[in-house]
Amino acid sequence: MSAVAEPIIASVQTPLPAPAFRETVAEFMLTVASNKRAMMMDISWDDYRYLLDIRDAQRKGVRLTFDSGRLEIMSVSLRHEIWKKMIARLFEMLAMAVDMPILSTGNITISREDLEQGFEPDECYYTTDPDRISSFDKLNFQIDPVPDLAIEIEYSRNIIARLPLYAALGIREIWRFDRGQLVILVLNSNREYQTSAASMILPMIPLSLMQDLIRRSGEINETEWRREVLAKTEALVNPLRLLESGA
Whether residue 117 sits in one domain with residue 25: no
Domain count, the chain: 2
* 111 plus 170 within the same structural domain: yes
Q: Residue 1 domain-assigned? A: no
Q: How far apart are CA 30 and CA 53, in angstroms?
A: 12
Are residue 162 and residue 182 in the same domain, yes or no? yes
Q: What's residue 27's pLDDT?
A: 79
Q: Do 31 and 98 belong to one domain?
A: no
Residues 95 and 20 in one domain: no
- 93 and 196 housed in the same domain: yes
Domain boundary among 28, 51, 75: 75
The average pLDDT across 208-228 equals: 95
Domain boundary among 38, 54, 75: 75
pLDDT classification of 18: cutoffs 50, 70, 90: low
41 and 89: one domain? no
> Is residue 7 within 8 Å of residue 37, measured between CB atoms?
yes
The domain in which residue 38 lies consists of 9-75
Over the stretch 85-103, which tens digit does the pLDDT of each residue have?
999 999 999 999 889 999 9
Residues 221 and 138 in one domain: yes
Q: What is the mean pLDDT of residues 129-148?
A: 88
Residue finishing a domain among 75, 94, 117: 75
> End-to-end distance of the chain based on CA atoms, in angstroms?
45
Does some domain include residue 40?
Answer: yes
Give the global pTM: 0.85
Tell me the C-alpha distance between 121 and 162, whole Å: 10
CATH number at residue 56: 3.30.110
- 86 and 54, same domain (yes or no): no
Q: Domain check: are 178 and 120 in the same one?
A: yes
On whether residue 4 sits in a domain, the answer given is: no
Q: Reduce the secondary structure of the chain to three states and give it as a string.
A: CCCCCCCCEEEECCCCCHHHHHHHHHHHHHHCCCCCEEEECCCCHHHHHHHHHHHHHHCCCEEEEEECCEEEEEECCHHHHHHHHHHHHHHHHHHHHCCCCCEECCCCCEEECCCCEEECCCEEEECCCHHHHHCCCCCCCCCCCCCCEEEEECCCCCCCCCHHHHHHHCCCEEEEEECCEEEEEEECCCCCEEEECCCCCCCCCCHHHHHHHHHHHCCCCHHHHHHHHHHHHHHHHHHHHHHHHCC
CATH of residue 142's domain is: 3.90.1570
Distance in angstroms (rounded) separating the CA atoms of residues 50 and 9: 22
| 126, 44: one domain | no
pLDDT band at 176 (very low <50, low <70, confident <90, very high): very high
Is residue 2 in a domain?
no
100 and 180 together in one domain:
yes
pLDDT in tens, 35-86: 778 888 889 999 999 999 988 888 778 899 999 999 999 888 888 899 999 9
Q: Quick one: which of 198, 203, 201 has its CA closest to 171?
A: 201
